[in-house]
């Protein structure tokens, strides 16, 4: 059938617009999402974030939702379609350039951001920006300057990039630019996508920061990072040896400062270990980040001598692996200084652990503690408390073996 132009009336277009409006109408809901929590925490810390993900994964949509949830105006700049002067500024001739110099005029989007005083600057398609454009972006990301214009403190910066293999005419990020970002690798969650297409997306909220914990959090973050780097000085600066890895997260004094900031914010916000892991690894890389997290675990272990001094009131970690490590440290402390009172105190610590946690974790430390018994040490009555957890006959055998040694 031949359709003439007259059949497409304004009323039909109006109905089409109504349908589009309904399709675009969505709501949000509180939902636990580690990726989103890591992103909002880094945004709260005023650190530049780079979202890595395959095309169509939803990075741009996440930024739009984040800006709306935080009530921040969103300014999107496609880095790959701009010239270096769009970020470094265009030279303009003033009244007396010999005296006043030649100022660098900023682009309109930067002027609008300064006028607003707050906002979310979204630098999209970063991995398709030419090296010259990436070089011009250095001052924007680190110093928050666009030409001669200083962006106000209320401006947050988030960028997005596709891996080079899936980017159109993609480039690897230059090491200086990559080292300025917190790198988060965005993957889709099936339930989030299904509920989002159904009209309900996760709601991004800034983390609740407890004011009374600020000094404690800063002290903890500094102690953790400085203590770790004292033990692992070769990780203070380690430039990767491949171009691809240089375009991601890697350790440098700058990125360790970023990790310290994230650790302080995560402590104040009581962020989960999973969120902290995403952020720390996104700042200094997977290997150094995982080592720092292991160092944090060791810092959280209670002093074994304190546990032996007051075993009935011992506060043991809730996490199973940390609890077992604490109990093994108590046994090791008794082994290093074997005395009957300390040995009996260690059994009291194990009883405390039995009363407040999972019994299975006690098998290894109980067997090791039984081996430390000397010939003039009586088997404590407390051993009966372990019936059903550790075979008492095995414990007795271990104690006898310890005496014979």
Question: Span 8-37, mean pLDDT?
Answer: 85
Structure tokens, 313:
């009131």
Q: What is the model's pLDDT at position 321?
A: 81
331, with CB counted inside 10 A (0-12, 13-18, 19+), is buried
Span 268-287, pLDDT tens digits: 999 999 999 999 999 999 99
Structure tokens, 328:
């093994």
Helix H segments across 143-252? 175-178, 190-197, 214-231, 243-246
Span 317-370, pLDDT tens digits: 888 888 888 899 899 999 999 999 999 899 989 888 888 877 778 888 888 888
Percent of the chain at pLDDT > 70 equals 88
Helix H segments across 172-213? 175-178, 190-197
Please provide the average confidence, as pLDDT, over all residues in the chain: 85
Rg (CA), the chain: 29
Q: Quick check: 89 pLDDT over 80?
A: no
Q: What is the model's pLDDT at position 391?
A: 58
Span 370-402, pLDDT tens digits: 889 888 888 777 677 766 666 544 555 555 455
Question: Span 181-208, mean pLDDT?
Answer: 87
Looking at 3.40.50.2000, 3.40.50.300, 3.30.390.10, 3.30.930.10, the CATH number of the domain 27-92+103-202 comes to 3.40.50.300
Helix H segments across 117-171? 131-142
Cβ–Cβ < 8 Å for 179, 255: yes
Span 240-262, pLDDT tens digits: 998 889 999 999 999 999 999 99
Give the model's confidence band at 404: pLDDT under 50 very low, under 70 low, under 90 confident, else very high: very low
> What is the model's pTM?
0.77
Instruction: Report the chain's terminal Cα–Cα distance, integer Å.
Output: 100
E strands in 56-115: 74-78, 90-91, 104-105
Sequence ranges of the chain with CATH classification 3.40.50.300: 27-92+103-202
DSSP 380-401: PGGGGGGTTTS-HHHHHHHHHH
At residue 251, the 3 state secondary structure works out as coil
């Amino acid at each position: 059938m031949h359709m003439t132009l007259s059949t497409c009336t304004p009323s039909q277009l109006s109905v089409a617009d109504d349908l589009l409006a309904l399709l675009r109408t969505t709501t949000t809901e509180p939902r636990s999402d580690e990726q989103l929590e890591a992103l909002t925490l880094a945004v709260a810390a005023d650190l530049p974030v780079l979202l890595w993900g395959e095309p169509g994964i939803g990075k741009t949509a996440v930024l739009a939702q984040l800006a709306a949830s935080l009530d921040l105006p969103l300014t999107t700049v496609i880095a790959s379609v701009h010239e270096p002067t769009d970020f470094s500024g265009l030279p303009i001739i003033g009244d007396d350039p010999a005296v006043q110099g030649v100022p660098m005029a900023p682009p309109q989007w930067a002027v609008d951001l300064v006028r607003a005083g707050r906002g979310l600057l979204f630098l999209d398609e970063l991995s398709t920006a030419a090296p010259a454009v990436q070089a011009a972006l250095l001052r924007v990301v680190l110093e928050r300057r666009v030409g001669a214009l200083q962006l106000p403190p209320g401006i947050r910066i988030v960028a997005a990039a596709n891996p080079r293999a899936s980017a159109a005419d993609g480039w690897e990020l230059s090491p200086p630019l990559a080292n300025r970002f917190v790198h988060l690798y965005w993957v889709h969650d099936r339930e989030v996508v299904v509920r989002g297409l159904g009209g309900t997306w996760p709601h991004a909220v800034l983390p609740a920061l407890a004011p009374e914990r600020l000094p404690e959090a800063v002290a903890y973050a500094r102690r953790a990072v400085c203590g770790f780097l004292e033990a692992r000085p070769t990780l203070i600066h380690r430039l990767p040896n491949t171009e691809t890895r240089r375009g991601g997260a890697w350790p440098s004094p700058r990125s360790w400062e970023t990790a310290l900031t994230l650790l302080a914010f995560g402590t104040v916000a009581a962020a989960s270990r999973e969120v902290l892991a995403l952020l720390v690894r996104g700042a200094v890389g997977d290997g150094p980040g995982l080592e720092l997290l292991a160092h944090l675990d060791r810092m959280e272990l209670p002093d074994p001598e304190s546990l032996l001094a007051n075993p009935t009131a011992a506060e043991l970690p809730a996490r199973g692996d940390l609890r077992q490590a604490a109990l093994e440290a108590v046994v090791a402390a008794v082994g290093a200084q074997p005395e009957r009172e300390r040995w009996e105190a260690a059994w009291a610590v194990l009883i405390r652990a039995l009363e407040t946690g999972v019994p299975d974790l006690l098998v290894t430390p109980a067997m090791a503690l039984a081996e430390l018994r000397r010939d003039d040490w009586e088997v404590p009555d407390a051993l009966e408390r372990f019936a059903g957890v550790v075979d008492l006959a095995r414990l007795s055998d271990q104690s006898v073996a310890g005496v014979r040694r």
